[in-house]
Structures are given as structure tokens and as C-alpha cells.
Chains A and B, each alone.
Chain A
């Protein structure tokens, strides 16, 4: 087993909203009335059914309520247990899934305010991601600007499967705001289900949707790179969260080969895809889609040709590993330090200085 070192940054923690009514105190009268009068109950995504084994490690599942809904549990099971100095909260509540931009905006604002009050205010180690109503670029940018005033928000969060490929120019005002405010864009597994959850249609099973996250990340990386997001925003970092990463080398071999063949189509892509990934893209550690032997994993790291790409994550409370094996076997101490401390600090500018909050 590879032991974690103290002082790490856990880049993917999932605090759960117990119920839509938990957000009522953070909504205005109109939206409180909408939720109540229309009988809205909860916003649980098909991506993470509450009782699915993947949604919670068995020994992290609370006797009652949703996994990840208790701060005390998160502290005991993840933050304290792995000696975490900083934990980034990525709420996966289904607020991005609704179709109305007004509703999405109200719910995102409530979710972000809820995160501050119920989590960030209660544990100095915690940092937050800004959940945005992608249905409206104007509203998304406004929400980024509103939340960014609180330096404990360290990134903007988007889902890997939405309405359009993320490289599309439509989304660039979001990226401009994020770059200007020192916020990486975190792209997390999960679908808004505004399109079929795979590029070949609707599968039958939850397991298919989950496996397909890795393919969705691949298509988004293609889009982000070839549309020229990083030529326009060279200082913007994007973090692929709960994406897996062992698919990266063969994906880049293919993208690189075709880029060499048809680069006349996207002349603004002035660096090889691998170089763009090295400078602008990062990946959270869990899940590790590799066999359990250290030898294979080290070969995969060699195929990635960089030790700066991976950021420590537990994916708490999702079930990605058992016991204390949060780090896969075979990592060198040097790599452990990079993954747990150096790489996250190089990625998130707002972690550089220990903030005095409030």
C-alpha cells in the first residue's frame, strides 16, 4: 500500500444536499413558493442513484440520509483519516439538469450559498466550487462573479455531459471570467441528460452511463483543444474530475495523429494536443481505472509523459477504493508528494496562500 502524506489537497469531495427543502432558506420568496406549491421534492441525477453501490462506499453509507450529507462523517471518514489540509467540495446536486434558466439560476445560487453556510463556514479546511446555470451564459458569468468575491471558492464546476460540447465559443465568456478571477474550470462526471448519455444513444443500464463518462471526457477534451479555448485563454486550467485518466495516452496518440493530418481545419491550434494537456489540463486521481499492480500503473504514468497531471482525490463518498488504499500501489514518494501537494497547489491559484476566512 502507498501511504498518503499529511497536508494533502483532496480535490474531489461531494457534500450532499439532504433535500430540495434544505435549499429553501437560500431562495427568495418566489422560488420558495414555486418549490412548495409545485410539490418539487428532490433533484437526484440518474448519474448517481442514491442507493447505487458506486454512490457510497459501504462503510461510509450513513444509517439514514444521503451519503455525504454529514460534515462530521466527512471529517472523520475523509479529511481526518487522510490527513487532508484542504478539501475542495464539488456538489453534485441536479441543479444543472433543469431546463429553465431562471430555475437553474435560482437553484445554483441557493446551492452555492448553502455550501458556504453549511460546509465552508464550519470547517476551515474546506473550499468550494461554484455551480453555475449553464443554461444562460449571462447568468452563469454573473454567478461566478458573485461567488468569486469569497476567496474560498476556488473553481467553477461544470458537468461533462451538457447541451453542447464545452469548447464551443458560446461558453467562452465563462472561461474568460474564470481565467480573470483565478478559477480553474472543474469538469465533473455526470450528465444533464439533455442529450443521450452516450454518443451512440441510450443504453439500458446505470453501469453503462457510468462507464460512458470516460468517453464523454475524451470528446470534451477534443472539443476544448480544437476549438482553441487554450489559445485564447492560455492561463486557464481545467480539471477533469472523476474522469479516470488511463484513457489519456491512447486518446492523445489519436488526436495528435489526426491533428497532424487535418490541422488546416483549426489553424489556431498552434501547439500539439499533448503540450496543451500538459500546460492546461489536470485530472483527479480517483477512480484509477487500472489493474491493482504497481508495475502496470507505473507504465501508464510513463505513457502519460508527465508527473504533473494528477491531483489527489478521494471522490468521497463514492466507492472507488477500500480501506486506506486511497493511493494506488507502486507510487514513489516523490510522485505522492506531487499528486497530493505540489500539483494541486500549482493548479488552484486560490490555494497558494492560506486564506484567513471571513
Chain B
């Protein structure tokens, strides 16, 4: 999955999985810096040229924690025609979608307008990315479905963008990131939830993003690995906020997917929430049920990076605590920590659970027949 040390023979790419799968976390990239320009008003072209993207983090070029390899992506995933990994539909089809039998691929574009401080620019880029997803990807390959990206810090503009895309079968969810200016349960984000519920679109909350807060409650750590591991703690806290603020009480039909943040921690977090809630429920009287019940009913989990304990029994017990009906297989293509479909589940899973894990849960959640 990591470093390419020699050319892979063509045959290796077709040694994929035999049954059809859903891949619920694919990252499409732009082939060139200007690829969004046709979808952006002229004023933004010069704005971007002059001021760049003014984000909730300090680095103008490159991420604050340098990745372990270029674009955090597989070295064997550069398209032959040039451009970064994940930027060519034909190569994605050849390297991933065809050999791995991907029947449904959910696109989660990163590097959009999310985490940008100028909210007008954030909204314009998000709208452009949504148009770009249709034109470059979903209209060209019907297996692929887009995620509506929105200006996450501007609930009103975000809700308008969701309503604009409602009913458009190119999109199967709304995409947020876990790290925002405030925890995700806060009211500034409720217009997003209201519009998503109304449109019948689940909300994917992908690990990552920038909201200006250090990635630990003790300030900024030193290393990339701390940022990577830390995303799962951010996700835990964001989910606790969603539950404790009463988002699922307020929006009872809302479904959310925790994307690329792990799932092994879910039982422990739910137990902790229930235990503390039994002591402190007077502070949050808007909750009518135990926190774990909201999680059980409203949350789905993508699998990559797959939990990888030494003992497969530990993995199976953890999944049973969560529910085989709640996991959505994902590869994270083309990123370096990609999970290989044929190898991600150990032996010993029933056919029904395998089918749910690889395909049926996703089709049901995203309404794909």
C-alpha cells in the first residue's frame, strides 16, 4: 500500500475482489491548478492568483504537517497522462474501479472551499467543485456518485447549496469535515442539518479539515503521525457534540457517516457517554434517549483505515458491538493508506455479513438500487 519499489505488472491490478463492492471513500483530484476556473466567476480567478486561499491554518503552500509522501497518495497512482494521483477518471477506472469490481463509488473531494476563512470564496469554490464532480466524474461514469461540498462555516450559504442539489441523482450525500471552527453539534451548523434532512441526503463527516483549533486539547503536537492518529479523537469529540447538543433529537431523520476516522472507538465512546449521561442528564434535558441510542440509530462508519488488531476475534467482537449493518467498505483511493478490498476482512465472516459490509449497507443508506 505504501511505497512503490518496482513497476507493478498489469496483471497485479486485476487480481482484485470477485464480488461487486461499494467504495464509500474515493478522493478525486484536480489535474491542474486551474481546473475549477470554468466553474468560478472571473473575480475569483484574480482573487486566487493574488491572495490565494486564506485558510484556518498558517501554511500558504503545503499542509502544516508534511505528509509521508507526495499528496499522501500511492506512488503507483500517478496517471500516465500526468497530473496528481486521483486526477484521471480513465486511470482510476483502470487501476481501481474495474479490477476491484466497484459498483458504487462515493466521491469525497478534499481541498474544496471547506476550511477557508473568506466565506464568499468558500461558497464559490464549493459550488464549483460540485459542478466539476458532475462534469468530470459522475456524468462520465455512472458507478460514481458525488458528495455535495458546502461552505461549512456559513450555514445559510451551505443550506442553499444543499437545496440547489436536492433531488440531483449525481449526489448521494453532503460532505463535512470533522474539524471546524466549533464542534459540529453547535447551532451555527444546524441549517446544514436541516437542509440535508429535508433533501434526504446523509451527511458524511470525513476526518480532517481546519477550524483553527489545535488538534489536541493541549495544543499543537510535533508530528504527522500525531495529526493522523488525532483525527480519530477529533471525530470522537465532534460526534459527542452532535449527540449532546441534541442534533438527532432536532433532526430525527438525519443520517451521518463517519468517514476515515476508524470505528473501533465507537463502543467505548458510547459507553462513556451513557455513563456520564446517567450522572449529568440534568444539564442536557433536550436529550430524550441515552446517547448510545442516537449513535446506534443515526451513525454509519466507513471502514478504512481498517481496524487491525492482532486477534480477529477482537475485531469481530468490536463490530458486533457496533452492528454489521452499520459498516460501509471504503478504500480511500488513491491515498497511501488505501485498504485492499480482497484483504481487508479476515476469514470467518458469514456471507450475509460480508455482503452487507462490502455492498448492501452502502446501497441501502445511499438509496442505490
Contact = CB atoms under 8 A, between A and B. Distances in A.
Contacts, number: 235
Contact of A161 (B68, B217, B221): B217
A40 interface: no
A227 B214 CA distance: 17
Indicate the member of B223, B245, B268 with the most A CB atoms within 10 Å. Answer: B268
Nearest to B237: A198
A266 interface: yes
A197 B272 contact: no
A56 to B, nearest CB: 11
A204 B183 CA distance: 9
A254 B224 contact: no
B182 A201 contact: yes
Given A200-B238, A262-B224, A289-B272, A207 B314 contact: no
Contacts of B214: 195-196, 199
Contact of B305 (A196, A207, A254, A291): A254
A257 interface: yes
Given A165-B216, A191-B217, A201-B211, A249 B182 contact: no
A203 B181 CA distance: 11
Interface in B56-80: 68
Interface in A220-264: 220, 222-223, 226-227, 244, 246-247, 249-251, 253-259, 261-262, 264
Contacts of B182: 200-202
Interface in B298-345: 305, 307-310, 314, 317-318, 336-337
Q: Which of B179, B218, B309 has the most CB of A within 10 A?
A: B218
Q: Considering residues A163, A219, A259, A289, which has the most beta carbons from chain B within 10 angstroms of its beta carbon?
A: A219
Interface residues of B, number: 67
A296 to B, nearest CB: 8
Interface residues of A, number: 69
Contacts of A251: 229, 232, 265
A148 B184 CA distance: 45
Contacts of A197: 217
A219 B224 contact: no
Interface in A171-197: 191, 194-197
Interface in B97-128: none
A250 B229 contact: no
A253 B307 contact: yes
A243 to B, nearest CB: 11
A215 interface: yes
19 contacts: A54-B276, A54-B279, A161-B218, A162-B218, A165-B220, A165-B222, A168-B221, A198-B183, A199-B230, A200-B178, A207-B283, A210-B280, A218-B232, A219-B218, A220-B218, A244-B268, A249-B264, A266-B223, A287-B272
Given A161-B217, A164-B218, A227-B222, 16 more contacts: A54-B280, A198-B217, A201-B183, A222-B229, A222-B230, A247-B269, A249-B264, A250-B265, A254-B229, A255-B225, A257-B305, A261-B2, A290-B268, A291-B271, A303-B318, A319-B279
Interface of B: 1-2, 68, 178-186, 211, 213-226, 228-230, 232-234, 236-238, 240-241, 244-245, 262, 264-265, 267-269, 271-273, 275-277, 279-280, 282-284, 305, 307-310, 314, 317-318, 336-337
